[in-house]
Structure 1
Amino acid sequence: MNLPPRQRSPLNLIRPDGPRPNATMFNSYNNILNTTALKFAATHPGTKAMVFDTFSFLSSVLDNPASYGITNTTNYCPNYDAPDIDTNYAAYGCQPIPEYFWYNTGHITYHTHEILAKELADSSMTEAEKTPQASSSLDILEVALAPEMPATHAEEKDLERQGGTGTVPPLKWNGANDPDNPLNWSKRKKNLHVFTPALISFSATLGSSLIAPSLPFLSHTFHVSSTVAILPLSTYVLALALGPLLAAPLSESLGRKPVYLISVPLGCLFTLGCGFSQNMWSLCILRFFAGMAYSPALAIGAGSIADCFTAERRASPSAWYIMSPFLGPALGPVIGSFVTVRKSWRWTQWTLIFFSIFAFLPLLLTSETLHSRILKRRAKSLDQLLPPSPPLAAKIHLLLTVTLLRPIHMLFTEPIVAFLSLYVAFNFSVLFSFFAAFPFVFETVYSFDTEQSGLVFLAIGIGCFLAILTVLLCDRYLYQPLVERSHDKGNSGIVAPEYRLYPAMLGSFGLPVGLFWFAWSAREGVHWIVPVIGAVPFAWGNLSVFIASANYLIDTYQASTGASALAANGLLRYILGAVFPLFTLQMYENLGTSWATSLLAFIVVAMLPVPWVLWIWGKQIRSGSAYDTIKA
């Protein structure tokens, strides 16, 4: 139960003594709410613009109130005008939460800013209908859905056909144990929906590095420089940065499974064309579109897992899923080196198709996981009247302002997002620079052939497994006890997000250790296994920092803007990952292995304090955010 504001004077779009709205009225109010909210959010950073169709939104709150922080759905917070309510809320059975939703005797309220209240009032009500809006400390608007209005003649026909009573029936689960709810699926079925997105994500990122051992062959085949030969790798990685920005909103509209079903075959077609390319530019263009097609799994895989697991049960499946996009780049050179030598560089592309088909097959056994799509599909099968959808203009506006512009805005205005994203992106870029550096170093110093150089990347895979183990141990023995303690104190398991940073603080030391180790051991007179081992702590630190940072961003910005924070992180990560390989060879040729790698290590050392600074001063930094952040 949230703590309601004092001196509340609700603005009711429908008068309390008026009739309950029907579908026609909901359509009108949806247009007003969506258009005005998006217009307001576009000019006021930090505002949470919620675009929704009314019944679908209200049903989602009623079906799973706990996900909105509602722990008591029976009545309003009692005595909310008590003098000590702000400091002694627990005594009144209240819990303050970031989202201001609650349910009481059949109606839902939601809050936005006071300025939006005036705009909504001016655009939707006559002067006689306007209710004065009293200012409050939270600057909110309450929109209440009140008594019933008779349906139109056409709507009455529809409702008679389905046994309705004059209102659009809410789309909701049939109780907490509804078997159609992905949260209630069997463990085996849930695991299938973790394994499948992970396998597709692995294939998508495998495609980035599978071509890495072929770079000298591309240079020879197309008569281009070694730098130009890297472009097919860079264009693919760049596409992995841009594709998720479009895939995420598509999945929320069409559902998760249709996006998977369309994207993987499309990626296979573009990859097939890559293998038949007759010049460098056609290869680069087709690689870019292949990356765009494969990229949705990187954006919506985490959403599929969130659909199937509650927050308390999500750590382990999320960790295994997150590992897959890191294993792909690590194992790509291993596979690609053997394919290139024993077949040709063209077969590296066709090999990706085989992996994609293997990942696609279990997808045929999966089900849709997006809750709203499942409910709508079930309602349609039962011949129920579906809630109205937001207008197309509102959807496009949401895509532009929230999905595309907000991540960029956060990247430049939010210190937490900016520094964590830069830290993670640089580490990730060093990993991608290894695609050019490892073959150069081991072929120059140790006279490795292409296949032997590819096997070196197995060290990266070992480091990734160690990172997953670290994250799981930190969650089990450091974070979960804090969650249990919070439950015992009646705080609903809320824990300060800084406690998510344990793996990042540990991993921050592994990054420079691994780089300096590699830098000064890769030389004549030192066995080749020594620099190979040095790659392990780097890979361990890299993935540990990434997972901890992702958890920290989600916990800090929560559902409202957490996805945008992660999108900003991913955008910068893959853009830098696309750029770094382009100058890696020149850097190693001019500086030498020791100083080129040491330069990267020194930069990593300079960034090492980032998780530690957030651990110490994270709460103060969060309090100055323009966006809504957790108050723990």
Structure 2
Amino acid sequence: MAYELEKASTHHTTQPGEPAARTPTAQDWTGPGDAENPMNWSLTKRTLHMIPIAFLAFAVTAGSSLITPATEEIAQHFHVSVTAAILSLSLFVVGLGIGPIIAAPLSEHFGRNAVYVTTAPVYMLFILGAGFSKSFGGLLVCRLLAGIAGGPVLAVGSGTTADMFPTRIRAIPASIYIMAPFLGPALGPVIGGFAAQYKGYKWTQWSTIFIGLVAWALVLPMQETYKKTILQRRAKRLNIPPPPTPHLGLLPYARKILRLTVARPLGMLFTEPIVLFFSLYISFVFSVLFALFAAFPYTFRRVYGFNTWQSGLTFLSIGLGNLLGLIMFVVLDRRVYARKHAEAVTRDQKAIAPEHRLYGAMIGAPGVAIGLFWFAWTARSSVHWISPVLAGVPFAFGNMGIFVSSALYMIDVYGPLSGASALAANGLARYTMAAGFPLFTIQMYSSLGIDWATSLLGFVSVLFLPIPFIFFKYGPQIRRKSRYNIVTV
């Protein structure tokens, strides 16, 4: 590609009857067929770029829960309560919420690949520090910093997906990427259970590093996908004017970043009903998922006498539910959304109503409540253990459907820029709430019992259940009252 551009820059004459040579530029793509535009890459190449970032997101989020099977050992080793030991999970989750704020300036200045290549080793170094920590405080600090260092991939990864896939075919690759942060926490306890049972709590950290190393090795060969960075490199390579960029001082730039990553998301969270209600709903079901990291071991050890690795295996049902949720969404996208989009094209409409993204949430929402009540009233010694294990399937199925549908809905409503702020607001709420839930789960289950503690969560999920149905029906009226430049149909 460099040779072709350099050749074009030195030969501008054309023979009679031949099309005019395209002048290289770094102000924008040279045209719809620009070979450096990631959307023009082959499907195979784009897939080989999507899988590594999805696996890196999986590796980071698996690191949050991989330590949870060792909670009781950590409590005994450092002479703290089990609740205090759960802070090793909660502070990591807090870090995952903070990390994306750091990702914005890094990605803006150095490109998306630089974020993957540099933050992953820092993440693993802090995990290494957690494993070698001699004090409980040192363990917690390293876990918090590891979460912060690992968090950027969760924000930048969705940008990479958007760089490579146009809107009309983005749903499936975006769903696969989105599944990774759900599959990671679900499978973390499965791996951590064996590590904690046979090697001790430190091996939960070594295992996290091994997974991270594989993920990091996969992202190293990746090419840059961020348009601004690609054009800047093209300008430098061909010695032509770079794309225009505003020159801001350090303080104005810091204000801009804070406005985009904190102020605007918080503003949308409190002024936009779509962002507020879907953020509350997603935050709740995501927090219940993290509460299960304490509730599952508590239940299966006390009721069924499971050991550490057996308790970890129960989370396979969560992973299965996530996969089924992804399959459901792919089928809906191909059979329903794609058909409606094609019908809209025949009517000369440039887009279809964003509410069509909510089918997955409407199907999945009952699954969350069903899974919680199923678990609540079958987790007893008179009922075989497989029944409460299987209850995790509809819960995770619904969780996946709600999140993917809601995320795509907000992007379709607000467009790329404001949609990113809406998702940032969702992320802040989601990880803040998820960090707190595991800290009171054990006390709640001890006081209310497994049945009523889980039923309480089920009743709350029933209160949230109508949200996707309400927005499916009244979404157009609500969108018209938005303060932001929403996408028109």
**Under TM normalisation by the shorter chain, which class is it?**
over 0.9
Give the corresponding residue for 1:516. Answer: 373
Structure with greater helix share of residues: 2
Q: 2 CA distance for matches of 1:261 and 1:595?
A: 46
Consecutive unaligned residues in structure 1, runs of 5 or more: 1-160
Cα deviation, residue 387, structure 1: 4.3
Q: After TM superposition, list the pairs within 5 Å mapping 1:243-254 onto structure 2.
A: 243-254=99-110
Q: Tell me whether 1:226 sits opposite 2:82 in the alignment.
A: yes
Q: Tell me whether 1:423 sits opposite 2:289 in the alignment.
A: no
Contact map agreement 1:422 1:572 (CA 8 A) in 2: yes
Give the corresponding residue for 1:126. Answer: none
Cα deviation, residue 403, structure 1: 1.8
Alpha-carbon spacing, 1:461–1:617, altered in 2? closer, same or farther (3 Å): same
Give the corresponding residue for 2:408. Answer: 551
How many residue pairs match? The answer is 468
Contact map agreement 1:437 1:588 (CA 8 A) in 2: yes
Give the corresponding residue for 2:174. Answer: 318
1:403 alignment partner, one of 261, 267, 277: 261
Q: 1 CA distance for matches of 2:387 and 2:442?
A: 22
2:390 alignment partner, one of 533, 547, 557: 533
1:440 alignment partner, one of 272, 291, 298: 298
TM-score normalised by L of structure 1: 0.72
1:344 alignment partner, one of 200, 206, 220: 200
Give the corresponding residue for 2:42. Answer: 186
Give the corresponding residue for 1:117. Answer: none
Q: 2 CA distance for matches of 1:286 and 1:162?
A: 57
2:422 alignment partner, one of 565, 568, 587: 565
1:328 alignment partner, one of 181, 184, 188: 184
Contact map agreement 2:28 2:243 (CA 8 A) in 1: no
Of 590-599 and 181-190, more deviation after overlay is shown by 181-190
Cα deviation, residue 496, structure 1: 0.7
Query: What code does the residue aligned with 1:182 have?
Result: P
Cα deviation, residue 316, structure 1: 1.5
2:458 alignment partner, one of 601, 606, 619: 601
Cα deviation, residue 162, structure 1: 13
1:359-417 Cα distance to aligned partner (Å, 9 max, x none): 01121211001111111101111112334531233432210212211111111111110
1:164-191 Cα distance to aligned partner (Å, 9 max, x none): xxxx965232332222111111222111
Q: 2 CA distance for matches of 1:347 and 1:622?
A: 50
Give the corresponding residue for 2:18. Answer: none
1:249-270 Cα distance to aligned partner (Å, 9 max, x none): 3212210001111100111111
CA RMSD of aligned residues (A): 1.7
Query: What code does the residue aligned with 2:44 have?
Result: R
Give the corresponding residue for 2:55. Answer: 199
1:217 alignment partner, one of 73, 81, 98: 73
Q: 2 CA distance for matches of 1:544 and 1:486?
A: 24
Query: What code does the residue aligned with 1:217 have?
Result: E
Q: 1 CA distance for matches of 2:267 and 2:59?
A: 31
Query: What code does the residue aligned with 1:193 have?
Result: H
Secondary structure, in 3 states, of the residue corresponding to 2:430?
Answer: helix
Q: Tell me whether 1:290 sits opposite 2:146 in the alignment.
A: yes
- Identity score, percent: 49
Consecutive unaligned residues in structure 2, runs of 5 or more: 1-9, 13-23
Alpha-carbon spacing, 1:445–1:628, altered in 2? closer, same or farther (3 Å): same
Give the corresponding residue for 1:500. Answer: 357
Q: After TM superposition, list the pairs within 5 Å mapping 1:108-119 onto structure 2.
A: none
TM-score normalised by L of structure 2: 0.93
Contact map agreement 1:162 1:384 (CA 8 A) in 2: no
Contact map agreement 2:231 2:243 (CA 8 A) in 1: no
Cα deviation, residue 530, structure 1: 0.6
Q: 2 CA distance for matches of 1:435 and 1:202?
A: 17
Give the corresponding residue for 2:236. Answer: 380
Q: 1 CA distance for matches of 2:415 and 2:198?
A: 49
Give the corresponding residue for 1:610. Answer: 467
Q: After TM superposition, list the pairs within 5 Å mapping 1:129-168 onto structure 2.
A: none
Q: 2 CA distance for matches of 1:169 and 1:339?
A: 54
Q: Report 1 or 2 for greater relative contact order, CA contacts < 8 Å, sequence distance ≥ 6.
A: 2
